Amino acid sequence: MTSVTQTLIDRASAYIGGDVTWVLPEAEASLRNIPKLNALHPFRPAFLALQNMKVAVNPEWPAHTGSTVALNLPRQAEWAFGLLAQALEKMPAGGHLLMIAPNDLGGKRYAKVLDENFDVVFAESKNHCRIAVITRPAVLPDIVQKWKDGARALLVTAADLLSLPGTFSHGRVDTGSALLLEHLPALTGTVADFGGGWGLLAQQALTTASRVDLFEADYNAIQLAKRNLGEKNIQYFWHDILTEKIAGKYDAVIMNPPFHDLADANPEIGRGFIENAATALKTGGQLWMVANTHLPYEEILKSQFKSVTNVVRAKGFKVLSAVK
Ligand SMILES: C[S@@+](CC[C@H](N)C(=O)[O-])C[C@H]1O[C@@H](n2cnc3c(N)ncnc32)[C@H](O)[C@@H]1O
């Protein structure tokens, strides 16, 4: 199947020229044919894939924005509109902004909103995606400020922590994570938080542990976790749990592992988290995790740990603990 990035290259190549900034591209070989390309990707596995292809890539907006900006817009709307606002503010007037998104993951809506607020110079529906190209006007319409406001960090009052559109569980505490927190014992020694997000689980672990190491693939979530939890007794690692080695050995690992690969449920990711948790724990160390009740993690836990306990099942989730 043709990727979203390849679809945009194939259909709108006439507009891709000069200095190009590409937001959230997939690691597509033909990106190498764009001579002056800078990519932006905050998700570590995607960032690493682009870097391995020798594409210049940053986890945050590059210092120099090209006169052409291409965006693979994400499904999360506030994040998508925030990216559009950033692109429009940073690029020069007269430059081309290209956007693509799958029809059922926001594409129809994003194309419509662009059409309502800008002069669209090219529009197409292809490979179940919407494509739109606009010329950056000299004066931006008022809606751009609204998009910026909508993409700001949001206080999760129940936890007194900031979250951000585009990061996991923005604006609320996830039900599974809340269940884990309810049953988490007072952990001592060093604790690793796998997929720590904006710091919800680490916040509680920090009240009893001597140190917490927070590992997270989403660069934006890491930045927010730093704002939320500061630097005392905590270290942050922008890290892909599935492919990158962890140097330390821990007394405990806590996690609410991801189980989605873009739109599809994929328990392999959780299994990978469990295997790497086993490797990162000292003998006698504890794993505390939460998962949707239907996810089949017990077998892999039993194969990697001395003992496994089903702590609780409630609200569609289960809390599991295991000793190395
Ligand atoms: C279900 S969320 C849990 C977030 C947080 N611990 C909480 O309970 O609110 C899973 C987190 O894992 C992160 N993640 C996904 N894939 C990852 C990977 N390969 N390596 C590290 N973190 C990853 C996601 O960005 C997300 O923040």
Give pLDDT tens digits for 150-191.
999 999 999 999 999 999 999 999 999 999 999 999 999 999
Q: How far apart are the first and last CA of the chain?
A: 42
Region 4-150: CATH code: 3.40.50.150
Q: What is the mean pLDDT of the chain?
A: 96
241 pocket-lining for ligand 1 (C-beta < 6 Å): yes
Q: CA-CA distance, 74 to 30, in Å (whole number)? A: 21
Q: CA-CA distance, 16 to 96, in Å (whole number)? A: 8
**Res. 262: pLDDT tops 80:** no
Nearest to 11 by CA among 115, 122, 135: 122
Structure tokens at 44: 């570590």
Averaged pLDDT for residues 285-289: 98
Residue 256 alpha carbon to ligand 1 centre in Å: 7
- Closest protein CA for atom 10 of ligand 1: 258
Nearest to 255 by CA among 193, 185, 312, 167: 193
Using DSSP bridges, classify how beta strands 281-292 and 317-323 pair: parallel, antiparallel or unpaired: antiparallel
Instruction: For the chain, give every domain's residue range.
Output: 4-150, 154-323
Task: Indicate the top mutation candidate among 218, 222, 268, 319 to test ligand 1's pocket, ranked by most ligand atoms within 8 A of CB.
Answer: 218
166 pocket-lining for ligand 1 (C-beta < 6 Å): no
Q: Domain 154-323 sits in which CATH superfamily?
A: Vaccinia Virus protein VP39 (3.40.50.150)
CA atoms within 13 A on the CB side of 214: 29
Using DSSP bridges, classify how beta strands 56-58 and 37-40 pair: parallel, antiparallel or unpaired: parallel
105 pocket-lining for ligand 1 (C-beta < 6 Å): no
**Res. 288: pLDDT tops 80:** yes
Using DSSP bridges, classify how beta strands 96-102 and 68-72 pair: parallel, antiparallel or unpaired: parallel
Structure tokens at 127: 């490979």
Q: CA-CA distance, 89 to 4, in Å (whole number)? A: 24
175 pocket-lining for ligand 1 (C-beta < 6 Å): no
171 pocket-lining for ligand 1 (C-beta < 6 Å): no
pLDDT at 274: 97
Provide φ and ψ at 12, rounded to 5°: -125, 30
pLDDT at 264: 65
- Closest protein CA for atom 12 of ligand 1: 195
Q: CA-CA distance, 280 to 127, in Å (whole number)? A: 42
| Domains 4-150 and 154-323 equal at CATH topology level | yes
Structure tokens at 210: 């001597």
**Res. 52: pLDDT tops 90:** yes
pTM over 0.95: yes
165 pocket-lining for ligand 1 (C-beta < 6 Å): no
Averaged pLDDT for residues 264-280: 91
**Res. 263: pLDDT tops 60:** no
Averaged pLDDT for residues 58-62: 95
Nearest to 48 by CA among 239, 297, 221: 239
Q: pLDDT tens across 67-121, in order?
A: 999 999 999 999 999 999 999 999 999 999 999 999 999 999 999 999 999 999 9
pLDDT at 260: 73
62 pocket-lining for ligand 1 (C-beta < 6 Å): no
- Report CA torsion sign: 170, 223, 80, 128: negative
Structure tokens at 80: 């998508």
Contact 280, 249 (CB under 8 A): yes
Q: At what angle do helices 77-90 and 143-150 cross, to 10 degrees?
A: 130
Q: What is the DSSP letter of 227?
A: H
H/E element, 116: helix 107-117
